[in-house]
Amino acid sequence: EAGVAQSPRYKIIEKRQSVAFWCNPISGHATLYWYQQILGQGPKLLIQFQNNGVVDDSQLPKDRFSAERLKGVDSTLKIQPAKLEDSAVYLCASSLGTSGRVGETQYFGPGTRLLVL
Amino acid sequence: AQTVTQSQPEMSVQEAETVTLSCTYDTSESNYYLFWYKQPPSRQMILVIRQEAYKQQNATENRFSVNFQKAAKSFSLKISDSQLGDTAMYFCAFMKLNTDKLIFGTGTRLQVFP
């Protein structure tokens, strides 16, 4: 079974530029998550999708971050404009998302390491 | 708000020995889930073990076991017969019932040496 795929693996940009990350979840997984992992910290949830609808985006800095999940499969996360403090690893995860079943295992991708100069 | 604390930034253990990683959490919920995730140097995080708070029995997965003390809000991970492949960051995480939102601690870096 193929795992969660993410690209690119690494990205270096200058502040005020824009950047986009892509995620392809495990086939059949309805729920998709984007996490931000700053160096020395645990991952922090940015946004959660159930199919193509947003379940939780309470910690997404909406003035500069946006995310979409068209057709309930792939997802993109965009930052525009980037700030120095956005330097982090951006992790995508997915889970089955079966109705009524919570606490499901989340499967993580390898992450995209972003450096903002 | 729920918080997760891992007080050991780094740990080391010799191969074949046993090591215990600590985790405490703060919540007013009575039912919830707790997890340990492993993040090897390649950075793909994988689930090690999970515990439902309403289950009194401690979860076990092969060489990995937990000591769940609900009253003390403590959730430690014991790794027996440590292997070189256990070298990784270990994150403790909390999930409130009826949500899928994981709240992670800051992690413990475990080094297993020969």
Portion 41-100 of B in contact with A at CB < 8 A: 42-47, 50, 52, 91, 93, 95, 97-100
Residues of chain A contacting residue B47, judged by C-beta atoms under 8 Å apart: 105-106
State the best of B21, B29, B45 to mutate against chain A, taking most chain A CBs within 10 Å.
B45
pLDDT for B55: 86
pLDDT at A115 over 90: yes
pLDDT confidence bin for A99, thresholds 50/70/90? low
Question: E-strand spans in A1-117?
Answer: 5-7, 10-13, 19-24, 31-37, 44-50, 53-56, 65-68, 75-79, 88-95, 107-108, 112-116
Cβ pair B65, B58 in contact under 8 A:
yes
Find the range with the poorest average confidence among A44-48, B54-58, B88-92.
B54-58
Nearest to A42 among B47, B95, B106 (CB): B106
CB contact under 8 A, B50 and A111: no
pLDDT confidence bin for A9, thresholds 50/70/90? very high
pLDDT for A104: 84
Residue B30 or A97, more confident: B30
pLDDT at A110 over 90: yes
pLDDT for B2: 85
Residues of chain B contacting residue A103, judged by C-beta atoms under 8 Å apart: 33, 50, 52, 95, 97, 100
By CB atoms closer than 10 A (0-12, 13-18, 19+), residue A33 is: buried
CB contact under 8 A, A42 and B91: yes
By CB atoms closer than 10 A (0-12, 13-18, 19+), residue A75 is: buried
